A = this chain, B = another copy of it.
Amino acid sequence: MERPSVNIDRIEAARERIRGLARVTPVLTSPFLDEIAGRRVFVKAEPLQVTGSFKFRGALSALSVLAPGEGVLAYSSGNHAQGVAMAARLQGREAVIVMPADAPALKIANTRALGAEVVLYDRANGESREEIGDALAAERGLHLVRPFDDPEVIAGQGTVGLELAEQIPADVGGDVLVCCGGGGLTSGIALALEARRPDLRVRPVEPEGFDDTARSLRSGHRETNPRVSGSICDAILTPAPGELTFPILHRLAGPGLVVSDEEALRAMALAAIRLKLVTEPGGAVSLAAALFRRDEIRGDAVTVVVSGGNADPETLAHALTL
């Protein structure tokens, strides 16, 4: 079966479907961050999106093309879970979410509070969320909403790129740093900017030890990570780039950037103090790269997509007192 492709028309159609329910998030700036980064920094604040991350865009985009009343299933470390749960709630659909037992407690609790049924699995011991998810979806007749390898999910995340194309001043070109797990957000933004702002180039940012996308972009093939847990950046720990997302990234994005967990925590603290924005570690790696990898970035301005803010309170408090 031929895979449906994602293009700018599909992203524009997704924007129409999610309009009025997903927020157009603001772009924030601070002279204090500009000074650390050595250039102007424009921060797209997706923690302010409904459910606290960009994932609501893709979830709502994907659910909006299903038949009325059709139930959904998703596997997720937490942000896709909340996005799907909220989108399902708005549309009156049943939602079952398969989550790793070591996901942040807040994400599990939020997903349940939004009305979804949560099924936990053990990520560290090698249980496969794909197998659990596929089996449950078949057994209960639910539509599986993949976290990134779904054209309507990628199109929904691409609406971040449409907004950036309008929000970033016309005289600002250069790098757009995007937190990257499976590549749904990164590839969606890359497609939108290819059509609307070809002067901006997307560069994925990953945590140390989980740089599958950076290595894949170098080798030209989908590389895997040796581990699937062990970083505080839980939101973006994926085994490998997606089947649909990687060809897009290979054509349009890179090179990748890599930051440490400690740099992600320091970026969280600076986002809180300088932008008044709460971020989670995986959502702040892009800002960490802008602030602490300045020699690897081109141009006199940089755009940063901060992707989520669902940090446990203890993690945020820890970052603030480093």
Q: A132 within 8 Å of B by Cβ?
A: no
Binds B, one of A196-204, A227-235, A272-280: A272-280
Q: In the assembly, what is the distance between CA of A52 and CA of B274, in Å?
A: 8
**Which B residue sits closest to A114, measured CB to CB?**
B31
- Tell me, rounded to whole Å, the shortest Cβ–Cβ distance linking A221 to chain B: 37
CB-CB under 8 A from A110, the residues of chain B are: 32
Q: A269 within 8 Å of B by Cβ?
A: yes
Q: A48 within 8 Å of B by Cβ?
A: yes
B28 & A26 in contact (Cβ 8 Å cutoff): no
- Tell me, rounded to whole Å, the shortest Cβ–Cβ distance linking A108 to chain B: 14
Binds B, one of A143-151, A153-161, A313-321: A313-321
CB-CB under 8 A from A48, the residues of chain B are: 26, 28, 45, 275-277
Q: In the assembly, what is the distance between CA of A191 and CA of B54, in Å?
A: 37
Q: In the assembly, what is the distance between CA of A47 and CA of B271, in Å?
A: 12
Q: In the assembly, what is the distance between CA of A279 and CA of B313, in Å?
A: 14
Q: Give the secondary structure class of A's interface.
A: helix
Q: B47, B113, B313, B317: which contacts A32 (Cβ < 8 A)?
A: B113
Number of interface residues of A (CB under 8 A): 29
Write the A110-150 contact mask toward B (1 if CB under 8 angstroms, else 0): 10011000000000000000000000000000000000000
CB-CB under 8 A from A273, the residues of chain B are: 106, 278, 313
CB-CB under 8 A from A26, the residues of chain B are: 23, 25-26, 48
CB-CB under 8 A from A23, the residues of chain B are: 26
**Which B residue sits closest to A35, measured CB to CB?**
B113
A316 & B272 in contact (Cβ 8 Å cutoff): yes
Evaluate whether A276 and B309 lie within 8 angstroms (CB atoms) in the complex, with A48-B26, A317-B317 already known. yes
CB-CB under 8 A from A279, the residues of chain B are: 276
Q: In the assembly, what is the distance between CA of A309 and CA of B272, in Å?
A: 9
Residue among A47, A269, A273, A314 with the highest chain B CB neighbour number at 10 A: A273
**Which B residue sits closest to A279, measured CB to CB?**
B276
Q: B25, B32, B276: which contacts A278 (Cβ < 8 A)?
A: B276
**Which B residue sits closest to A25, measured CB to CB?**
B26
19 additional A-B residue pairs with CB within 8 Å, beyond A23-B26, A32-B110, A317-B321: A25-B26, A26-B26, A26-B48, A28-B48, A31-B113, A47-B276, A106-B273, A269-B313, A272-B316, A273-B313, A276-B277, A276-B278, A276-B309, A277-B278, A278-B278, A314-B321, A316-B320, A317-B317, A320-B320
